Amino acid sequence: MESQLLLCILLACLPLMIAQDSAIISIDGTHNIANIDENFVCATLDWWPPDKCDFGQCQWGNTSILNLNLSHPFLAKAVQAFRHLRIRLGGSLEDQVLYGVSSLKIPCLPFHKDPNGLFGFSSGCLQMDRWDSLNDFFNKTGAIITFGLNALYGRQKTPATAWIGRWDSSNARDFMDYTISKGYPIDSWEFGNELSGQGIGASVDAAQYGKDLINLRGIIDELYKNSSSKALLLAPGGFFDEEWFTQLIQASGPGNDTDSVVQHILDPEYASDMLDDIFGVLNETVQQYGPWASVWVSEAGGAYSSGDPFVSNTFLNSFWYLDQLGTAAVYNTKVYCRQTLIGGNYGLLDKITFVPNPDYYSALLWSRLMGKKVLPTYTEASSYLRAYAHCTKRREGVTLLLINLSNSTTYEIKIHNTMNRALHVPNYSVPKQGYFKRKFKKAFSWAGSKASRQQLYREEYRLTPKGNFKQSQIVLLNGKQLSVSEKGEIPHLEPAFVNAFSPIHISPLSIIFIVLPKFEAPTCLS
């Protein structure tokens, strides 16, 4: 018995065995497979009041569109660091918001709990002086704004979740008119929140929704007829239902379990299969029935009910988040809005201190490095190693994002440029099954024939959690802790400069952005 106990103690003291594996990543810079928007990274602000609670926890505090402290210095600096952060104003209570313009004939009151109301709340109202303050903040920080309009106004609720009847556009129209008259540059108007298919709490028939979209499009045309630029129309914001979406396009014309969340984030088959199915079918539907349209993700947080308090605000969530950004971009998604900028457990900023959570830095690095053109990327490696390549943003070269989901394997990676050998690459549009498992048996130099070995360096931005604890709320960049200053200044995200011909190693549960400034990629020059 004593010898067995001693053996158990010795085994418990042994470090986790780290396996070594090699991987070849081939990037084709001759053409791009998709294009994303210049401001692909987006974050949301929601309407939830402080008494919105889930599972006994009230996670929103004063982070609502109606009560967020816009003068907090950390908030402005966090937005300004993106140069032009796209912010989407909307959420579950969006379709209960009234606008306090002069034509509104009822008192403009805040939300309050109402067991008979949608999501347990009454209608609420946006005062125009608050709207003025919000736009002053947006102007000072360079934010690009998408505003979600109330698409249930004037309809009648049925005993089920369906709402019937035509949309009453009067309050929204007067609000839009006020906004334009003040010169507030709204980039896009979104029509309703999660009303597609069966809806989340409420739904609208696709044919009626399509007719209302035509009405809204006419209002936008009318109100912007004397403007130098016209706002976009976005719809619908909600879960993808193929039949409902198909009908809409044709009608409108040109509670969380932490262990389960952790398991799904680090399961490459779960992530890959689910995303490929959703994005693939959605992309095909748009191409077949509405090629004039483009796909946006208007709200995604990774977990329901305000996010998971032990995952959504930790380093672990960056595996899910960056993989989502990468996959969405491959499938030609133009914009990806993260729920939230601040609020709930999944905010990029902490709802109390306004200090950035780990995903903030992941979003900031993506925004600064990953350009509009998405390149074909082929890997010879385990599915635990994820790879995405884009033309580098606003400068020459290519940026490669690597995500190691394995908790026990370090990968040694060689990067190859498919231009340097006569390699047959099939016609590439949307990746099909096996996208992350393509095999390439020959070696290629990544830089191409024109580069000099003496001049070649790569930039590495390695993200790891403090103490190698995957659920840490502190992230390290190249081994240094990222922290804001006392005045809220965002730290400089400095790369490590590494000889380009040295091997790339990515340790377990880590993330790297690699900038290859001399990578020959003709499509990035056009």
Catalytic residue among 94, 190, 299, 380: 299
Residue 361 CB burial class (10 angstroms; 0-12, 13-18, ≥19):
buried
Q: Where are the alpha helices (DSSP H) in 142-205?
A: 170-181
Phi (first) and psi of residue 338, to 5 degrees: -90, 130
- Helix H, strand E, coil C: the string for 80-92 is HCCCCCEEEECCH
Cα(first)–Cα(last) distance of the chain, in Å?
72
Tokens encoding 480: 């240094």
Collect all residues with Cβ–Cβ distance below 8 Å to 338 and sequence separation of at least 6: 41, 42, 43, 44, 300, 301, 321, 346, 348, 359, 363
Tell me which residue has tokens 């995903």.
359
Distance CA 68, CA 130 (A): 10
Contact between 423 and 442 (Cβ < 8 Å): yes
Name the amino acid, one letter, at 526. Answer: S
Q: What is the DSSP string of 28-86?
A: --S--SEE--TT-EEEEE----TT--BTTB---SS-STTT--TT-HHHHHHHHTTSS-E
Q: Is 194 a catalytic residue?
A: yes
Collect all residues with Cβ–Cβ distance below 8 Å to 25 and sequence separation of at least 6: 377, 378, 379, 380, 381, 387, 400, 402, 413, 414, 415, 416
Distance CA 242, CA 69 (A): 40
Helix (H) or strand (E) segment spanning residue 247: helix 242-252
The beta strand positions in 216-290, using DSSP E, are 232-234
Contact between 306 and 345 (Cβ < 8 Å): yes
Q: Judge if the upstream peptide bond of residue 340 is cis by omega within 30 degrees of 0.
A: yes
Provide, for the chain, the percentages of residues in helix, strand and coil under a 3-state DSSP scheme, each rounded to the nearest 5: 30, 25, 45
Tokens encoding 70: 């816009």
Distance CA 405, CA 508 (A): 7
Tell me which residue has tokens 């399509």.
210
Catalytic residue among 94, 190, 194, 460: 194
What's the Rg (C-alpha) of the chain? 24
Which residues participate in catalysis according to the annotation?
194, 299
